[in-house]
Amino acid sequence: MQIVNEYAEALERDLCSRSLADFVRQAWPVIEPVTPLKWGWVVDAICEHLEAVTAGQIKRLLMNVPPGTMKSLLVSTLWPAWEWGPKDMQHLRYLGTAHKQDLAVRDNTKCRRLIQSGWFQRLWPVELTGDQNAKTKFENSRTGFREAMAFTSMTGSRGDRILLDDPHSVDDANSKTRLEADVQTFRESLPSRVNNDDSAVVIIMQRLAVGDVSDVAIELGYEHVCFPMRYEPGSSRHVVGPGDPRTQDGELLFPERFNENAVKALETALGSVATAGQLQQRPIVRGGNIIKGSWFKLYKVLPQIKYRIVYGDTAQKTKEANDYSVFEEWGRGIDGKIYLLDMIRGKWEAPDLESRALTFWAKCRDRDINALGALRSLKVEDKSSGTGLIQVVRRKGNIPVKGIERDRDKYTRVCDVLGYIEAGSVCLPVDAPFTSDFLAECESFAADMSHAHDDQVDPMIDAIMDMLAGDKAAAWENII
């Protein structure tokens, strides 16, 4: 019997060491003895990305998922225990944080309880030290520790793993002052909390506001994972694994736990603004929603394109608070609609801006003109840095570049083109990596200009006015 038990334990150790998901299944009765485990593909996806961090493939990871996806248990409780136990990485030091210290301590306590359980100690006898074994911090005999703290109080310790689990509360998100304080902590305090270049930062959170920690993390180049509650083509993101298996618009993320009735009730309780952020992971500015994402048509296959134009919008400065520079390639289809074909976006100083413009033009120029039509011109707002770019591109690139005069305020210009968008005349690529951010920016556009960025909106307006409204105006002039 003893040999049988030893063999069974060896198999269990091997199973858990190979897969975080299998470890979660085995550990579940220990941490949740009266709650049945409900499993869905999103749980596998989160586990796969955490495994990539363990393997050193990812060092900065942002995961945006709705509440109820086991995100706190997976990231802050089970994954640290998996690395200490089955992966034998007891030297690792974890700093776990949330918007409230009570939540961070809750997950710290669950992790300690799991490690001290008879099941865990029988398979992986991790020794916790007697002089540092508390709810807020516990250590093992190989110098590893797990410490909990509030997100805005990240001082003192350094870690090999920094775990940010919902750094904002709903109240934080509704207060510009608190939101800015959270972002400042993320920008200024968190970088000094990592041990070395091999340390990892993992953020898992629901979206609550434009300009939140997620927006900053994306700007800083974090690997981004995003799974909305209801499937929206082009909105899901993954880094490793097969990703989102859903194909039908509106298909649920975790029906094993939240069925259609439950999700509808949640959407009703939250309202449209909170649903967009907390469930769909695309927050909008309160008072915004002038441009509705549902108005855009998403395409997988292009029709015949008659001609193409590149539209550019250049930022005045490259500081973090300022807008990006962006170049968008638009095509006019034989069906009368316009299609966003490609885009680049970034914060570039003048020499790099010029280089990016020339390179993007060359990429667009070299496409198959039989299918996509001729590339006619590059059009850029003739103002500030745009004026300088027009002069340089015209001289260096032998490119038909034209200046655009924007003689009305942006809100008025947006209102001028809303009818074309609502009519389904503006089409976006369903699978392009930029589509989700493009839609989020359009939906965040607010009349009071309180949105974070609108650099992608301007070239779209130019394209609509040029390709759609311009054609309509010319036709009317011919009738007159």
Domain co-membership, 166 together with 213: yes
Q: How many domains does the chain have?
A: 2
More confident residue, 474 or 154: 154
Collapse the DSSP code of 139 into the 3-class scheme (helix H, G, I; strand E, B; otherwise coil) and give the result: strand
Q: What is the pLDDT of residue 473?
A: 39
Domain co-membership, 335 together with 240: no
Is 129 contained in some domain?
yes
% pLDDT > 70, the chain: 93
Tokens (6 digits) for 330: 């638009």
Is 255 contained in some domain?
yes
Domain co-membership, 427 together with 460: yes
Query: Could you give phi then psi for residue 204, rounded to 5 degrees?
Result: -130, 125
pLDDT tens sequence across 444-459 = 887 655 556 788 999 9
Model pTM?
0.72
The model's confidence at residue 285, banded by pLDDT at 50, 70 and 90, is: low
Where does residue 77 rank: exposed (0-12), middle (13-18), buried (19+ CB within 10 A)?
Answer: buried
Q: Which of 279, 306, 339 is where one domain is finished? A: 279
Q: What would the DSSP string read from start to end of 283-348?
A: ---TT--SS-GGGSEEESS---EEEEEEEEE--S--STTSPPEEEEEEEEETTS-EEEEEEEEE--
Cβ-based neighbours of 108, under 8 Å, separated by 6 or more? 76, 96, 135, 136, 137, 138, 146, 147, 148
Domain co-membership, 179 together with 311: no
Q: What is the pLDDT of residue 16?
A: 96
Is 207 contained in some domain?
yes
More confident residue, 244 or 445: 244
Domain co-membership, 120 together with 269: yes
Q: What is the pLDDT of residue 470?
A: 64
pLDDT tens sequence across 166-192 = 999 887 777 778 888 999 999 988 888
Cα distance between residue 73 and residue 45, in whole Å: 14
% pLDDT > 90, the chain: 58
Tokens (6 digits) for 426: 């503006």
Average pLDDT over residues 282-302: 81
Is 66 contained in some domain?
yes
Q: Which of 155-169, 396-410, 443-457 bottoms out in mean pLDDT, i.e. has the lowest?
A: 443-457
Length of the chain: 480
Is 379 contained in some domain?
yes
Cα distance between residue 344 and residue 29, in whole Å: 48
Average pLDDT over residues 104-123: 95
Domain co-membership, 454 together with 342: yes
Q: Which of 225, 250, 279 is where one domain is finished? A: 279
Cα distance between residue 311 and residue 131, in whole Å: 64
Any idea of the CA torsion for 37, 41, 44, 45, to the nearest 10 degrees? Answer: -140
CATH of the domain at 442: 3.30.420.240
Q: Which of 279, 301, 323 is where one domain is finished? A: 279
Cα distance between residue 338 and residue 69, in whole Å: 38
Which single residue is written with the structure tokens 């990592």?
A: 194
Domain enclosing residue 213, as ranges: 2-279
Whether 197 contacts 56, CB under 8 Å: no
Average pLDDT over residues 283-301: 81
Domain co-membership, 395 together with 262: no
Cα distance between residue 378 and residue 401, in whole Å: 5
Q: Which of 49-63, 74-88, 273-287 bottoms out in mean pLDDT, i.e. has the lowest?
A: 273-287
Cα distance between residue 367 and residue 369, in whole Å: 6
Cα distance between residue 357 and residue 395, in whole Å: 13
Q: What is the pLDDT of residue 444?
A: 84
* CB count in 10 Å sphere of residue 55: 10
Cβ-based neighbours of 238, under 8 Å, separated by 6 or more? 45, 49, 225, 227, 244
Closest of 365, 356, 209, 228 to residue 287, by C-alpha: 209
Domain co-membership, 37 together with 175: yes
* CB count in 10 Å sphere of residue 366: 9
Domain co-membership, 7 together with 136: yes
pLDDT surpasses 90 at 418:
no
Query: How far, in Å, are 63, 226, 270 from residue 252 at the CA level?
Result: 18, 14, 17
Rg (CA), the chain: 26
More confident residue, 397 or 163: 163
pLDDT surpasses 50 at 477:
no
Cα distance between residue 181 and residue 282, in whole Å: 21
Residue 398, amino acid = N
The model's confidence at residue 280, banded by pLDDT at 50, 70 and 90, is: very high
Where does residue 101 rank: exposed (0-12), middle (13-18), buried (19+ CB within 10 A)?
Answer: middle
Is 151 contained in some domain?
yes
CATH of the domain at 157: 3.40.50
* CB count in 10 Å sphere of residue 418: 14
Helix 350-365, helix 385-396: angle, nearest 10 = 50
Is 445 contained in some domain?
yes
Domain co-membership, 159 together with 18: yes
Strands 305-313 and 200-205: unpaired
pLDDT surpasses 50 at 480:
no
Cα distance between residue 43 and residue 242, in whole Å: 13
Rounded to 5°, angle at Cα 138 from 133 and 140 = 100
More confident residue, 392 or 201: 201
Cα torsion angle, 155, 160, 166, 168, sign:
positive
Q: What is the pLDDT of residue 146?
A: 95
pLDDT tens sequence across 318-327 = 454 466 899 9
Domain co-membership, 146 together with 238: yes
Is 376 contained in some domain?
yes
Quickly list H helices, 96-240.
101-116, 118-123, 170-173, 176-188, 213-219
pLDDT surpasses 70 at 283:
yes
What region, left, alpha or beta, does residue 324 occupy, with left being phi > 0 and alpha being psi -120 to 50 degrees?
Answer: beta
Domain co-membership, 325 together with 429: yes
Average pLDDT over residues 332-336: 94
Whether 464 contacts 421, CB under 8 Å: yes
